[in-house]
Structure 1
Amino acid sequence: MTARLPLILLAVLTFSGCTTIALEPLPEGMTDQPPADWTERSRNLGRFDHWHLSGKLAVKQPSDSGTAVINRWFQNGEQYDLSLSSSFLGMGTTRLQGVPGFIELTLANGDVYQSSDPETLVNAATGWQLPIDSLSWWIRGLPSPDGDFRLLFDEHSQLAIIRQDGWEIRYDRWHGFIEDLPSLPARITALKEDKRVRVVIANWRRED
């Protein structure tokens, strides 16, 4: 652990409370009525919690924007191990390891930081606002079990949007990556106010 942290990394705040989802008019062609197979589908995807994926990440926000390669994302139950490479802000290769409510972040220069507030630490270290604790759920096409949410489905009964914690997660593309599972997201766009996070998955496989 680095002995002296930059001041910005000491500004870790604790947030609490849930967001109530306002029942706004439905977008054209959307319904909030789940299809008949949604319970089974969500159960299967919820059990799919040991996996590896690779792809790309793009962040756009008022202060700065940038892209990163997702070298690997290992998920083992609630534990994640995520490696990103980017030249953005001199980020280099950054490793994020943790569980909900705790993160260890290793920068390219070897500095290591830990926090009980993953989102704030990632923002302090990289300048990016990423909903780290919810991503492992949203990436599978599921709402996070923490907090209120609203699901919207398209005319093909496919999940199109999750609204949760002030974010709108749009599922732009699906693909049958794994034979015995429902289709998994291949491209996701998450929006919150003037921030946008896009994830494109190139490969997804089950880990034993």
Structure 2
Amino acid sequence: MNTVRSCLALIVCLVTLSACTTIQLEPLPEGLTDQPPADWSARTEQLTALQHWQLMGKLAVRQPSDSGSAVINQWTQHREHYDLSLSSAFLGLGSTRLTGTPGFMELTLPDGDVYRSGDPEALVAAATGWQLPLSDLTWWVRGLPNPGSNYRLFFDEQQRVAMIRQGGWEIRYDRWRSFIEPLPELPARITALRGERRVRLAITDWQRAEQP
């Protein structure tokens, strides 16, 4: 009986140690804090309410297999529906249009060929070779984490979001600007990193979009 009790005690101890190991957090990046500022809830509410918007800018992708860039002629978002027009000489894409929702995409190539898929990320990867976290980008581009999965936020000395870690990606906010009054500042330059992959988004203009 004593032997059984000793074994049970050892198992409990090992499980406890294992649990303690799994909840340890990585050290804070230098100069950042994970304590949100007092106005973070209000800011989140304002930017979440921005459901109809347009932006223009440039997208650059670097990964082990290749790299390239594209001009974002216009990205229009109406709630979960997006309409993204890109121009790029990379891989002969020319003018490409992506429309859809998180669970569906229609991709139109310059020659008029249209491809549809229930897996938008896989469709973009097949057409361009780029691995893009499309379902998260609509949140990250507003300086917000996707509430559908776990994340960790870091804030800088100006009490702005400096970094989001989510889904294996590290999203860094390099520049902010006041694009739409009276909303808080919106991201002007974002860098998303995952292993050897890097996605950089430079935004030159933000506007509200008329509701359809």
In the alignment, the residues of structure 1 paired with residue 41 and residue 48 of structure 2 have an alpha-carbon distance, to the nearest angstrom, of 10
From 157, 162, 165, the counterpart of 1:163: 165
For residues 166 and 100 of structure 1, the distance between their equivalents in structure 2, rounded to whole angstroms, comes to: 19
The aligned amino acid for 2:179 is F
In the TM superposition, what are the counterparts of 1:138-149 in structure 2 within 5 Å?
Answer: 138-149=140-151
| Corresponding position of 2:92 | 90
More helix by share: 2
Letter in structure 2 aligned against 1:93: S
Q: Offset of 1:23 from its aligned partner?
A: 2.1
Residue 22 of structure 1 deviates from its aligned partner by: 7.0
Match of 1:70 among 69, 72, 77: 72
Aligned residue identity for 1:65:
S
Overall identity of the aligned pairs, in %: 66
Residue among 92, 112, 119 paired with 2:114: 112
Structure 1, unaligned stretches of length 5 or more?
Answer: 1-19
**Partners of 2:112 and 2:198 in 1: CA distance:** 29
Q: Give the secondary structure class of the aligned counterpart of 2:115.
A: strand
Segments of 4+ moved more than 4 angstroms: none
- In the TM superposition, residue 21 of structure 1 has moved relative to its aligned partner by 9.5
- Rounded Cα–Cα distance in structure 2 between residues aligned with 1:206 and 1:105: 24
Alignment-derived partner of residue 199 in structure 1: 201
Q: List runs of 5+ in structure 2 lacking aligned partners.
A: 1-21
- For the aligned residue pairs, the C-alpha RMSD in angstroms reads 1.3
TM superposition shift of 1:204: 0.6
Say whether residues 1:42 and 2:44 are aligned partners.
yes
Q: Distance in 1 between matches of 2:153 and 2:163?
A: 6
Q: Give the TM-score of the pair, scaled to structure 1.
A: 0.89
User: Do the aligned partners of 1:50 and 1:206 also contact (CA within 8 Å) in 2?
Assistant: yes
Q: Secondary structure at the match of 1:119?
A: helix
Alpha-carbon shift at residue 26 of structure 1 (Å): 0.5
The match for 2:134 is 132
In the alignment, the residues of structure 1 paired with residue 96 and residue 23 of structure 2 have an alpha-carbon distance, to the nearest angstrom, of: 34
* Matches of 1:205 and 1:140, distance apart in 2: 12
| CA deviation map 1:88-133 (0-9, x unaligned) | 0101111110111111111111111111111111011011111111
Number of residue pairs matched by the alignment: 189
Give me the whole-angstrom Cα distance separating, in 2, the residues matched to 1:137 and 1:131. 11
Aligned-partner Cα distance in 2 for 1:192–1:111: 31
Q: Do residues 174 (structure 1) and 187 (structure 2) align?
A: no
Of 155, 158, 165, the match for 1:153? 155
